[in-house]
Amino acid sequence: MAESQFMIHQATHMFMTEPIYFQIIQMQGAWLVWVGKQAGKMGDLAVSVPAFGSQAIPSATTVIGNDVKEFSRNLARRLALKYGEQFYVSLDVSSQDDMLNAFVEKKLNDLVKTTVA
Residue ranges covered by each domain of the chain: 9-116
Looking at 2.60.40.420, 1.20.1250.20, 3.30.230.100, 1.10.260.40, the CATH number of the domain 9-116 comes to 3.30.230.100
Residue 117 scores a pLDDT above 70: no
Give the pLDDT confidence of 25-38 residue by residue, as tens digits. 998 889 999 999 87
Q: Is 56 helix (H, G, I), strand (E, B) or coil?
A: coil
- Mean pLDDT, residues 59-86: 85
Q: Cβ neighbours of residue 52 under 8 Å, at least 6 residues apart?
A: none
Name the pLDDT band for 15 (thresholds 50, 70, 90).
Answer: very high
